[in-house]
Amino acid sequence: MTSSKITNLIMQGSEGIPLLIMASDQYDTWLAEQPEQVKNWLTNTRFSGQGHSVIPSADGAISQVILVSNDTQSYWLCGELVNQLPAGEYLLQGDKEQLKMAAFSWGLGAYQFDRYKPNNKTYPSLIINDSALVSECHKLVRSVTIVRDLVNTPAADMMPQHLGDTMTALAAEFGAQISQIVGDELLEQNYPTIHMVGRASANQPRLIDLTWGDENAPKVTLVGKGVCFDSGGLDLKPGAGMRLMKKDMGGAAHVIGLAHQIMASNLPIRLRVLVPAVENAVSANAFRPGDVIKTRKGLTVEIDNTDAEGRLVLCDALAEANNDKPELMIDFATLTGAMRIALGTELPGFFSNDDEVAAGITASGLNVQDPVWRMPLHKPYLELTGSDIADIANCGKTPFGGAITAALYLEAFVDSDISWSHFDVMAWNNRKLPGRPVGGEAFGIRAVFDYLQNRYAK
C-alpha cells in the first residue's frame, strides 16, 4: 500500500462511527452507565474488558466501537485495530496527544509492502476533527513508510541509481538542490573509498548530495550509509548472512525519511543530506583484504575485511560533511552485528561526542516512544583499529566491542569541533508487533526529529 493510500485512512471530519478508547480501570464504571442492550451484548460476547468490541445497534448496524487497554498512552495502540475493524469511518475524540498516537499507529498498522504482491484489502478510516493534527500525522506516517518502502525493495530495483532517483524526486517535491558524483568522477573529485567499495559493480557508485533551506539558518547535515547490496565482497558472506542484505542501505533510507519529515515540517534549518551509494559486489576489480587506500581526509586505511565496507563509504562522506562546519552532523547506518548482539534488533544504539545532544535525543526518544540507547565512545579501543602499514584499519583486531571500534573509526573522520552522532540501526523488524510488520523499519528518526523540532522550531 502506497503512503498516499495509507494517509487517506486518516481524515479530518466530524462524523463517523464513535470509537472510544479507555483505560482498563475505567471500563467497569463506563459499563455500569450503559443501556441494557450494550451490557447484554458485551456479556453475551464474553468481552473480557481487554481489547476491542464492535457494538451493534438494534437494527444491526455498528453503533460504536470500544478499545480497552492497560496502556492508552502507547504510540502503537491502534496498530492492530486498523486490521481488525470492518471497513467504514470511525470517529475518534480525545486529547490531542492521544489522537496523534492513535492516528500514527492506525496509519502504520495498515502498511503492507505491495509493490510485487497487490493488497486489495479495504481498510477502515479514522476520522479526527482537527485538520492540523491530521496533516501532522500524514507527514509522520509518510516519513516512516518511505523508510520501510526503500528497505523492503529488492536490490535489483534499489541500486545506487535508484537511490539517486528517489532523492531527486524528494528534492523536486520540496524545492531542494541535488547533485550526484558518479563512477570515476568520484576519483576525480577525491572520494576514493566510495569508489573503491563500489567499483566492482555494474551499478556505478555515487555520492548523492541534497541541500535545502535558508543558507543562513543553522546547518544540520545527515549522512546515510547506502550500501544497496552487500555480498561481503571478497570476504564473501555465507548465504544466511547475505539473505537480507538488500537492507544494507537502511541508513540511507533513514536519512531520506528524516529529511522528508524535516522539509515537510519546514524546520528552520539549512539541511544537507549526503548518501554514499554503492553495491559491494565481487568482480575482477573488487578491492581486497590487505589493500591500503588513502581517503578523502588524507588518512590511509588498511583493509582488514572487505565486509566492513559501510564505514569505508561513510568516512569519505563524513570528511566532506566537515567542510560546511555544520552545527549538527548525524549519520545513520546498518553498520555492525555487534550492536545487535549488545542491544537486540529493536533498540538502536547511538554514539555521540556531544553529551548535551545525546541527552536531548535520548529524552526525545522517550517522549515519542522511539527509544534509543547511547553507547560509549571508549577511546582506548581505538588502538584495536591500529595498522602496521597505514594510519588505521577498517576493522578491530577482535570482534569484541565491534560497534564501538566501528564508531571510533568513523569519529576519526569527523572534525573534533563538530557535534556528531552516529546511529547503528537494524532497519528491519524480525517479528510482527502492533503497527510494525516484519520487514523494513525506521528506528530513531522520530527521536531525532523531535529533538530537532524542540531545538530549532520552538
Asked if the model's pLDDT at residue 74 lies above 90, the reply is: yes
* Arithmetic mean of pLDDT, 335-355: 97
* Arithmetic mean of pLDDT, 221-240: 98
For the domain spanning 3-129, the CATH number is 3.40.220.10
| pLDDT of res. 20 | 96
Q: How many residues does the chain have?
A: 458
* Arithmetic mean of pLDDT, 12-23: 96
In degrees and rounded to multiples of 5, residue 88 shows phi and psi of: 160, -175
Q: How confident is the model at residue 16 (pLDDT cuts 50, 70, 90)?
A: very high
* Arithmetic mean of pLDDT, 31-44: 96
For the domain spanning 142-456, the CATH number is 3.40.630.10
| pLDDT of res. 211 | 98
Q: How confident is the model at residue 2 (pLDDT cuts 50, 70, 90)?
A: low
* Arithmetic mean of pLDDT, 259-263: 98
Least-confidence region, from 289-293, 393-397, 412-416: 393-397
Asked if the model's pLDDT at residue 60 lies above 70, the reply is: yes
| pLDDT of res. 276 | 98
In degrees and rounded to multiples of 5, residue 351 shows phi and psi of: -120, 150
Asked if the model's pLDDT at residue 14 lies above 90, the reply is: yes
The domain locations on the chain are 3-129, 142-456
Asked if the model's pLDDT at residue 4 lies above 80, the reply is: no
Q: Does the fold of domain 142-456 match that of domain 3-129? A: no
Q: How confident is the model at residue 5 (pLDDT cuts 50, 70, 90)?
A: confident
Which set of grid coordinates corresponds to residue 349? Answer: 544504539
* Arithmetic mean of pLDDT, 72-77: 94
| pLDDT of res. 94 | 86
| CA pair distance 97, 72, nearest whole angstrom | 11
Q: For the segment 140-196, what is each residue's pLDDT rounded down to a tens digit?
A: 999 999 999 999 999 999 999 999 999 999 999 999 999 999 999 999 999 999 999
Q: How confident is the model at residue 120 (pLDDT cuts 50, 70, 90)?
A: confident
Q: For the segment 374-406, what is each residue's pLDDT rounded down to a tens digit?
A: 999 999 999 999 999 999 999 989 999 999 999
Residue 242, judged by CB atoms within 10 A of its CB (0-12, 13-18, 19+), counts as middle
* Catalytic residue ranges: 237, 311
- Which candidate, 188, 222, 183, 178, places its Cα nearest to that of 202? 183
Average pLDDT across the chain, whole number: 96
Asked if the model's pLDDT at residue 3 lies above 80, the reply is: no
